Amino acid sequence: MKKKKKWLSSVDLLMIAVIAAIGAVLSSLVINPIVRALNIASPFVSMWPGALHLFAVIMGGLIVRKPGATMFTALLNGLLQMLFGNPSGALCILYGFGNGLGSEIAFSSARYRPKVWITMLASGCGTVTAFFIDLIYWFSDFTFGFKVLYLVDSFFAGSIVCGLISWGVFRALERAGVVNRK
């Protein structure tokens, strides 16, 4: 039986780069305008499509399934979003760090197994850590109760929207033979 290597190979790094680039383009040019338009109504409404910013990060963790893959995908995604013209600028890297930290902790605690509940947990945790930055930078005037409600809502938005969509795409790629579930 061949032992799985724990470090990221060149194929893993290339896969992460492709996933991060696709995610950065989608986040900067598609998801971000929708989120900004909905943010006028309410930040609680805009976080539901905003949870899709985490899609590439979760896909990187599901496909590569090695320590550091999720964090590396998130940081590269944030850097590329900044370069592709995301209006948040350098904050994209900080959001990437938040996305990666929460997701990496969840994936590592489950030993990177591809399961729907782990994907939903990683998506929820990644969204909470990134949206915590929102509370500091954008919504510092929220009361404590609204901040707690915002984080709870962000966990459910990440788990449901990003977690289930990521899981569905992963299963479709798996059925098509693009990724191996072992």
Integer Cα distance of 89 and 32 in angstroms: 12
User: Residue 155 CB: number of other CB atoms within 10 A?
Assistant: 22
pLDDT tens, position by position, 61-93: 999 999 999 999 999 999 999 998 888 889 999
Write the pLDDT tens digit of every residue in 120-155.
999 999 999 988 888 888 888 889 999 999 899 999
Q: What is the pTM of this model?
A: 0.90
pLDDT in tens, 110-119: 998 889 999 9
Q: Please compute the mean of the pLDDT values over residues 144-171 and round it to a whole number.
A: 94
At 160, is the pLDDT very low, low, confident or very high (cuts 50, 70, 90)?
A: very high
Task: Provide the 10 A C-beta neighbour count for residue 86.
Answer: 21
Cα 114 from Cα 97, distance rounded (Å)? 22
Q: What is the mean pLDDT of residues 5-11?
A: 83
What is the rounded average pLDDT for all residues in the chain?
90
Q: What is the percent of the chain where pLDDT is above 70?
A: 96
CA dist., res. 122 & res. 54, Å (int): 10
Torsion sign, CA atoms 104, 109, 110, 116: negative
Distance, in Å, from the CA atom of 180 to the CA atom of 31, rounded to the nearest integer, reads 29
pLDDT on residue 3: 60
Handedness of CA 13, 108, 90, 31 (dihedral sign): positive
Tell me what percent of the residues of the chain surpass a pLDDT of 90: 63
Q: How many angstroms separate the CA atoms of 23 and 101, rounded?
A: 17
